[in-house]
């Protein structure tokens, strides 16, 4: 079966490289019994891939069940997964089979696996290693032949560092990892998905389908989409039902795109002006502005600390500080900061020259942008791909900026 046939069978829309690679991995691992861990942001479509693996596996005639680990209370999760004996806890008026017993010979999909409590993780590890489990309230060891596919939107290595997830379980589950790209990583698919959702909504409610003009498509493709495909579908349905016009402009569209803060203090994030050459450049601009603000705040704090005397631990620092400030006099520092008329220090006191300290900060965004690009290139030893990732812009934008500013990388 080809990738295109898989897309048609499971209703997958898109042709991005990352998406097709994920489908290809699912096809290759399906005939085996290896455990699979599907990772990706919430709303990116992780739930489709366990179904692909099951339907292309030798277990396709067996039972398939999807379990949302985050939706089951901690007190009953063991009973749901492994079953319980009559009288094993309050309310256990009968014995019950768990999912691992019911799905014997089939596939079980554990969604939001990172939400499992640690004791349940230990029991799950035993199932993965030996195929054995024990019902709640029983001492009898039962065997099961179940293939486990797990999914999560949590960064598991970070959860391991915080003691929230077992490292040994992670390596057992992560035999074959499948990473599902976020919607912003497959921009070429956004308009296609929007058309599909708009068409489905129009068919369902018997109305003409909405269409985006060119500028609206551009805005949509450059939105951050924190909710991924789920959010895109929601937006398409809202506009289809609420708007009377079937031709959707960018002015209409932006009303349905909520702002989103990717980093603290940075508002987001729709490209609404024709003068914006590329959406990632706006993110770079915000980074520059916030770094300028941080630098200025640090300078102010340092001056206040020196005047109060809190920055001077001993009088031995005085000659060093005087020499430092003499060297900085009328010198333009990195990022366009210029210091004039520095402080003068003496034993036990601080004096200031006749004129006050002046901190002149260049407001040129071009200089700040050049400085930030140079720093990123130096940090990553000239590797432009890594530098672009650090700056939050595309490689194409970075190449253009390097040529524009004549930066020697």
Over residues 385-398, the mean pLDDT reads 81
Of 185, 150, 186, give the one whose Cα is nearest residue 35: 150
Domain boundary, last residue among 195, 223, 256: 256
pLDDT at 269 over 50: no
Examine the domain organization and report whether 199 and 172 are in the same domain: no
| 267 is a domain residue | no
Number of Cα atoms under 13 Å in the Cβ half of residue 163:
0
Domain count, the chain: 3
From 161, 181, 201, the end of a domain falls on: 181
DSSP E strand boundaries for 155-304: 176-179, 211-212, 247-248
My answer on whether 16 and 148 are in the same domain is yes
Q: Is 249 in the same domain as 294?
A: no
Instruction: For tokens 């980093």, name the residue.
Output: 263
| pLDDT attached to residue 294 | 58
Residue 40 in this model has a pLDDT that exceeds 90: yes
Residue from 190, 193, 252 nearest 222 by CA: 190
Q: Is the pLDDT of residue 364 over 70?
A: no
d(CA 102, CA 146): 10
Q: Does a structural domain hold residue 307? A: yes
Do 249 and 366 have their domain in common? no
> How does residue 278 score in pLDDT terms, banded at 50, 70 and 90?
very low
Same domain assignment for residues 171 and 216: no
Euclidean distance between CA atoms 325 and 344, whole angstroms:
8
Phi, psi of 36 (to 5 degrees): -130, 135
Pair 76, 222 in one domain: no
Q: What is the pLDDT of residues 99-122, one digit of tens each?
A: 999 999 999 999 999 999 999 999
- Domain span holding position 139: 3-181
159 plus 122 within the same structural domain: yes
The residue assigned the tokens 């050049």 is 370
Q: What is the pLDDT of residues 116-130, one digit of tens each?
A: 999 999 999 999 999
* Mean pLDDT value across residues 283-299: 60
| Cis upstream peptide for 269 (omega within 30°) | yes
**Is 107 a domain residue?**
yes
Is position 263 within any domain? no
Say whether both 194 and 55 belong to one domain. no
Same domain, 39 and 163: yes
pLDDT of residue 120: 95
Q: Would you give the end-to-end CA distance of the chain in angstroms?
A: 46
Find where tokens 């976020």 sit. 182
For residues 334 and 374, give the distance between their C-alpha atoms in angstroms, rounded to a whole number.
12
Tens digits of per-residue pLDDT, 178-196?
A: 999 999 999 999 999 999 9
pLDDT the model gives residue 225: 92
Q: Does the structure show a pLDDT above 80 at 94?
A: yes
Q: Is the pLDDT of residue 98 over 70?
A: yes
Maximum distance among all alpha carbons in the chain? 90
Q: What is the pTM of this model?
A: 0.63
- The answer to whether position 62 is within a domain reads yes
In a domain? residue 387 = yes
Residue 253: per-residue pLDDT = 94
Considering the chain, what is the average pLDDT of its residues? 81
Query: Average pLDDT of 247-258?
Result: 93
Q: Domain boundary at 181, 199, 225, which? A: 181
């Amino acid at each position: 079966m080809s990738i295109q046939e898989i897309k048609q069978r499971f209703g997958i829309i898109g042709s991005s490289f990352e998406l097709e690679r994920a489908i290809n991995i699912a096809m290759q691992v399906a005939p085996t019994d290896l455990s699979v861990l599907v990772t990706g942001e919430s709303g990116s479509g992780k739930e489709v891939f366990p179904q692909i693996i099951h339907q292309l596996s030798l277990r396709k005639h067996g039972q398939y069940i999807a379990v949302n680990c985050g939706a089951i209370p901690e007190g009953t999760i063991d009973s749901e997964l492994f079953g319980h004996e009559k009288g094993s806890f309050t309310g256990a008026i009968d014995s019950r089979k768990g999912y691992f017993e019911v799905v014997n010979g089939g596939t079980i999909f554990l969604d939001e696996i990172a939400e499992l409590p640690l004791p349940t993780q230990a029991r799950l590890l035993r199932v993965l290693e030996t195929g054995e489990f024990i019902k709640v309230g029983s001492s009898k060891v039962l065997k099961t032949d179940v293939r486990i596919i797990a999914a999560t939107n949590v960064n598991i290595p970070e959860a391991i560092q915080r003691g929230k997830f077992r490292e040994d379980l992670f390596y057992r589950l992560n035999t074959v990892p499948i990473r599902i790209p976020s919607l912003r990583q497959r921009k070429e698919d956004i308009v296609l998905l929007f058309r599909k959702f708009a068409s489905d909504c129009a068919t369902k409610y018997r109305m003409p389908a909405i269409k985006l003009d060119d500028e609206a498509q551009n805005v949509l493709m450059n939105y951050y989409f924190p909710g991924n495909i789920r959010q895109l579908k929601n937006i398409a349905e809202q506009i289809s039902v609420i708007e009377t016009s079937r031709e959707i402009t960018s002015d209409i569209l932006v009303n349905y795109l909520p702002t989103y803060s990717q980093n603290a203090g940075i508002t987001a994030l729709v490209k609404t002006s024709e003068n914006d050459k590329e959406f990632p450049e706006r993110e770079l601009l915000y980074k520059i502005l916030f770094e300028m603000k941080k630098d200025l705040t640090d300078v102010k704090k340092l001056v206040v600390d020196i005047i109060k005397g809190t920055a001077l631990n001993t009088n031995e620092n005085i000659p060093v500080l005087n020499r430092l400030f003499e060297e900085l006099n009328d010198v333009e520092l990195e990022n366009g900061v210029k210091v004039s008329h520095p402080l003068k220090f003496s034993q036990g006191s601080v004096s200031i020259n006749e004129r006050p300290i002046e901190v002149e900060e260049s407001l040129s965004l071009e200089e700040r942008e050049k400085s930030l690009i140079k720093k990123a290139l130096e940090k990553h030893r000239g590797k432009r791909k890594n530098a672009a990732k650090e700056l939050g812009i595309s490689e194409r934008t970075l190449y253009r900026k390097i040529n524009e500013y004549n930066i020697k990388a």
